[in-house]
Structure 1
């Protein structure tokens, strides 16, 4: 039984260490545009059932509760918390924030689409709207040379005043993608997410329609990490790690005592 206690405490150390890594990543990305914090979810490992509840204790009685011994804990998974981050005004015409649900679509080098909440876009020399890494926005919107006063409506309509014209011309419309289970999207790094079987297929459409959020030009969505909450979680995780470490130490001392008494 003492050896079993060592194993249980070890699973606790592993689980708390994983949770601490999740917290560390959240804090590291406190200033990352469009970042969504992760939460570690725990679950128990299988129980060893020594006496089943309801089993016969004798000819006339049954056990009311039984005897089951747990074997530890594990991190079942991490869940992305998709709450809205605060909007920060930048004044940059190509900075966009999504107020509500939805994701920008960008094209990866292999031709597939990825999804992001980070709306800090730039223009290439050819007038293509791209991410800081050069990934083009989908659908592709070409901005002609010499345009002034680029305007992006809350519905994603992109307009600009062309050289020699007094009235603005419409260049295209930025569409957003939404998912039935956005928490099921796979994190790729670089502020990018990928579709999975769990997330479901993207539903693409105009911003502000069918539950999708609206676009805010000249703003960026900040990280939704709350430093105070993360620090509280960090202290709690540290204490839980210390307790599991003390459990290993206490169990080891019990084994030493037992060996001395048997010797």
Structure 2
């Protein structure tokens, strides 16, 4: 019975984590470039006691745990916007952002603006690592599918190329570590990022006036939520039944 209490408690913790991840997915359905989370479970391998040593492994007490929370990087649908500085990646790649300390972060959210110094910056204030700057008074800003940024400068009749938006690629996206706010960092499994011109080297092309929608499907999330809730309820019943059996045994000893 003690084993049943332990196993059911591990199931409760694991399913609670599953529910939390699904809730976060649903809450970010309208977040551009959001990538849905997925809980990966693993069996808890408990060392056998002397009385369990002769039992098959499947007969020993164990349980379940959350091995990791990974993300699915399948592309979301491209949605048109009216934003001049809204960019979507049609294919592989990430925008590389840089904070004030020089740390690099990666996102699929392409909603940008010009900060007080004219640099292209994300909504969180971080600038593109390429340091693209648009001079004051520039108009008709265009970004090509290859990431070439050009504009009409004040007083000029011909367009001027201001730089290129390059995309970050990784050997594998499975090793990227989420730090929240739709941002990722390179991990030991993903390796370091290597930059590529949009549309080349396996990277996607840029689409101006578009944003990538979250790759969250409401039906899939609701189905997963129902399954997680049922599993949680079943583990709670096992916990309750084990408690009742232990109470009965305790009363018999009196």
Q: Secondary structure at the match of 1:201?
A: coil
Does the CA contact (< 8 Å) of 1:105 and 1:176 recur in 2? yes
Match of 1:218 in 2: 209
Distance change (3 Å), C-alpha of 1:70 and 1:104: same
User: Would you say 1:184 and 2:175 are equivalent positions?
Assistant: yes
User: Would you say 1:129 and 2:129 are equivalent positions?
Assistant: no
Q: Supply the distance in 2 between the matched residues of 1:66 and 1:19 (Cα, whole angstroms).
A: 26
Q: Which runs of 5+ in 1 are unaligned?
A: 54-64
Structure 1 residue 162 displacement after superposition: 2.0
Distance change (3 Å), C-alpha of 1:94 and 1:68: same
Q: Supply the distance in 2 between the matched residues of 1:86 and 1:77 (Cα, whole angstroms).
A: 27
Runs of 4+ in 1 over 6 A off after TM superposition: none
Match of 2:44 in 1: 45
CA RMSD in angstroms comes to: 1.7
Match of 1:61 in 2: none
Distance change (3 Å), C-alpha of 1:66 and 1:196: closer
Structure 1 residue 48 displacement after superposition: 5.1
Q: What TM-score does the superposition give when structure 1 sets the normalisation length?
A: 0.90
Does the CA contact (< 8 Å) of 2:98 and 2:129 recur in 1? yes
Q: Which digits, 9 at most, give the CA deviation of each residue in 1:86-122, with x for residues without a partner?
A: 1111121110011111111111111121111111100
Q: Which digits, 9 at most, give the CA deviation of each residue in 1:209-228, with x for residues without a partner?
A: 11111100011111111111
Distance change (3 Å), C-alpha of 1:66 and 1:125: closer
Distance change (3 Å), C-alpha of 1:19 and 1:66: closer
Match of 1:203 in 2: 194
**Equivalent residues, number:** 251
User: Would you say 1:21 and 2:20 are equivalent positions?
Assistant: yes
- Rg (Cα) greater in structure: 1
Q: What TM-score does the superposition give when structure 2 sets the normalisation length?
A: 0.93
Match of 1:69 in 2: 60
Q: Supply the distance in 1 between the matched residues of 2:96 and 2:36 (Cα, whole angstroms).
A: 20
Structure 1 residue 66 displacement after superposition: 7.2
